[in-house]
Amino acid sequence: MLVWMIRVVQNNIWISDIFVVYLSMKHILLSILFFTIAHILTWFQMNVQFMNTWAKNNTWALALCSVPIGYCFIRGVGFIFEHYGEIWPGRVIGFCIGNTIFAILTYLFMNEGLNTKTLICLGLSVVIILIQVLWK
């Protein structure tokens, strides 16, 4: 690989090694990005009706948001499959990202606090994501 031929040393870290790690993590990072966008959009799609009268009376408009949300989920699963060759990691990572996004946005916009049980579940979600991403 051309990257291995061109080694530039900076602070005792091989720049080419960092590039190779980036390339190997690219699909995971893109997947996490698409899942995060999808879950943020999904949260607003489902919950804006409780914050806005227009949205409550025009649920058809909220339903139209499903197209970009679906696209983000499809791309997220696709990138995970390209990396792992399986779809189960995408399900687990997407689930954990969804729980984390839901908790944060519900806390910020609906003023629903995080109790001990929810905080433990969020911590476990982060651990599950790390296991899926880092364990080969």
CA 127 to chain CA mean position, Å: 14
- Sign for the CA dihedral angle at 46, 115, 107, 127 comes to negative
Q: Judge whether 3 lies within some domain.
A: no
Q: For residues 56 and 47, give the distance between their C-alpha atoms in angstroms, rounded to a whole number.
A: 9
- Number of domain units in the chain: 1
Q: Judge whether 66 lies within some domain.
A: yes
Q: Judge whether 1 lies within some domain.
A: no
Cα angle 103, 69, 52 (rounded to 5 degrees) comes to 60
Query: What's residue 62's pLDDT?
Result: 92
Q: Judge whether 114 lies within some domain.
A: yes
Per residue in 64-83, pLDDT (tens digit) is 999 999 999 999 999 999 98
Q: Judge whether 89 lies within some domain.
A: yes
Give the 3-state secondary structure of residue 51.
Answer: coil
Q: Judge whether 4 lies within some domain.
A: no
Per residue in 12-29, pLDDT (tens digit) is 555 555 555 556 788 999
Q: Judge whether 18 lies within some domain.
A: yes
Residue 69 belongs to what domain range? 13-134
Query: What's residue 135's pLDDT?
Result: 82
